[in-house]
């Protein structure tokens, strides 16, 4: 089912301020709270949806990203793990209700993992496949995650007769309601292990170092996170895996400095090349590129090579390379060179005023 727009979920406008957001959340969370809508699956879903929408929109950073990218993929990695538990926690935070034991439905999901990868600028531009080693909790191979010693199996919990739930009448802010809580004996799992597996001590999980292949998309930057679904930690007793999130640090490159989607290169030229013009070979991240330097090129001029920059991580459209001309003044002259410069001196007169500095050139190029 496609996710509904968060503003629509809360019934507020796009310019809604924090106070109105709170009010909208309060009203809807009260209306759809499961204690008030016993067994109503739709209300339950709405309760979670309202919590998720509020969690996103009440955080200025998340809201900004949501406004820019919507629910699209890795634009919103943080909302991936929003669960019913998160919705209840938010509600309890708002209304000050103590956290009550709640029945979990099915096995618990494993935690998400985060990992930092050091990558080269080339990898950031073209993407790559990497083999990484992830230290994580994995399903125990001895008992296949059941937690029971091989040859035995978990038995039905005698306290809840396998339902994992205990029903109890309690006072809540809605008056007396029947509260369904997780069975304390089996912790909601409905089954108990009589003889725990020796290799995982009944946990169903063991710590391992897992080698996996990950794909680094072209265009990633240090503020982009990539989600690798289902490569996080295994849940206890055979629960589903969490996700793995990759963050990146990009190594410095000897030639290029990255600025968003642009690659900046300082292009050294001799005095004669700058004066007379020349055809020169320039490095790009794709390989060599031939550039025609115009006669009379000033120091600091910026020459744009289009399409040789960093691709946009979503659209794949590539930025440009900017070559900043650096006229290199010779410091050691042989006698012949010295003579030639001496001949020039006195004939050319004083140079005209400097009209533009390096920063003006760069600003102009970045605007263009």
Q: Which stretch binds Zn ion (CB under 5 A): 23-31, 97-105, 178-186, 217-225?
A: 178-186
Min CB(39)–Zn ion separation in Å: 20
Q: Which stretch binds Zn ion (CB under 5 A): 47-55, 125-133, 190-198, 330-338?
A: 190-198
Which two three-digit tokens encode residue 240? 């589903």
Q: Please tell me what DSSP assigns to residue 59.
A: S
Tell me the C-alpha distance between 83 and 89, whole Å.
10
Rank residues 121 and 157 by Cβ distance to Zn ion and give the closer one: 157
- Told to check if 157 binds Zn ion by CB under 5 A, we report yes
Strands of the chain, DSSP E: 113-119, 128-139, 155-156, 165-172, 175-182, 191-192, 205-216, 226-228, 244-250, 256-259, 262-270, 278-284, 287-293, 302-305, 321-328
Which two three-digit tokens encode residue 208? 């391992």
Q: Which stretch binds Zn ion (CB under 5 A): 117-125, 137-145, 211-219, 229-237?
A: 137-145
Rank residues 123 and 189 by Cβ distance to Zn ion and give the closer one: 189
Q: Kindly give, in sequence order, each residue whose CB lies less than 8 Å from that of residue 21, ignoring residues fewer than 6 positions away.
A: 10, 12, 54, 57, 58
- Considering only 186, 228, 244, 269, the residue that binds Zn ion (CB under 5 A) is 186
Contact 48, 13 (CB under 8 A): no
Alpha helices (H) in 13-75, listed in sequence order: 18-32, 41-57, 60-69
Rank residues 234 and 322 by Cβ distance to Zn ion and give the closer one: 234
- Considering only 140, 193, 226, 365, the residue that binds Zn ion (CB under 5 A) is 140
Q: Which residue has the tokens 């030229």?
A: 269
Q: Which stretch binds Zn ion (CB under 5 A): 192-200, 236-244, 335-343, 354-362?
A: 192-200
Q: Which stretch binds Zn ion (CB under 5 A): 184-192, 209-217, 231-239, 266-274?
A: 184-192
Min CB(200)–Zn ion separation in Å: 3
Contact 313, 301 (CB under 8 A): no
Tell me the C-alpha distance between 114 and 277, whole Å.
52
- Told to check if 143 binds Zn ion by CB under 5 A, we report yes
- Considering only 159, 172, 225, 270, the residue that binds Zn ion (CB under 5 A) is 159
User: According to CB under 5 A, which residues from 243 to 302 bind Zn ion?
Assistant: none
Rank residues 167 and 356 by Cβ distance to Zn ion and give the closer one: 167
Report the interface residues with Zn ion, using CB under 5 A: 140, 142-143, 157, 159-160, 183, 185-186, 197, 199-200
């Amino acid at each position: 089912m496609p996710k509904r727009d968060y503003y629509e979920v809360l019934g507020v406008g796009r310019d809604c301020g924090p106070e109105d957001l709170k009010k909208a959340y309060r009203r809807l969370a009260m209306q759809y709270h499961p204690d008030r809508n016993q067994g109503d699956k739709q209300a339950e879903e709405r309760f979670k949806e309202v919590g998720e929408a509020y969690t996103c929109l009440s955080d200025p950073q998340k809201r900004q990203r949501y406004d820019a990218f919507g629910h699209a993929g890795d634009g919103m990695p943080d909302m991936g793990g929003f669960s019913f538990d998160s919705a209840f926690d938010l509600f309890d935070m708002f209304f000050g209700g103590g956290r009550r034991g709640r029945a979990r439905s099915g096995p618990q999901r494993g935690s998400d993992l985060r990992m930092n990868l050091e990558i080269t600028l080339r990898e950031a531009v073209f993407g790559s496949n990497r083999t990484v080693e992830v230290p994580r909790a994995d399903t125990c191979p001895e008992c296949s995650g059941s937690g029971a010693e091989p040859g035995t199996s978990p038995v039905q919990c005698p306290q809840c007769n396998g339902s994992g739930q205990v029903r109890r009448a309690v006072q809540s802010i809605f008056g007396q309601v029947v509260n369904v809580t997780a069975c304390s004996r089996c912790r909601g799992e409905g089954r108990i292990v009589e003889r725990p597996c020796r290799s995982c001590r009944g946990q169903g999980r063991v710590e391992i170092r897992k080698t996996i292949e990950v794909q680094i998309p072209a265009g990633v930057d240090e503020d982009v996170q990539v989600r690798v679904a289902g490569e996080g930690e295994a849940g206890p007793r055979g629960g589903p895996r969490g996700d793995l999130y990759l963050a990146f640090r990009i190594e410095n490159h000897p030639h290029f400095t990255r600025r968003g989607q642009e690659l900046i290169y300082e292009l050294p030229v001799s005095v004669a090349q700058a004066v007379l013009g020349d055809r020169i070979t320039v490095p790009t991240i794709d390989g060599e590129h031939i550039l025609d330097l115009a006669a009379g090129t000033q120091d600091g001029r910026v020459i744009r090579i289009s399409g040789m920059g960093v691709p946009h991580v979503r659209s794949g459209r590539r930025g440009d390379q900017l070559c900043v001309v650096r006229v290199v003044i010779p410091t050691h002259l042989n006698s012949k060179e010295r003579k030639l410069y001496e001949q020039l001196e006195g004939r050319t007169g004083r140079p005209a005023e400097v009209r533009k500095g390096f920063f003006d050139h760069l600003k102009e190029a970045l605007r263009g």
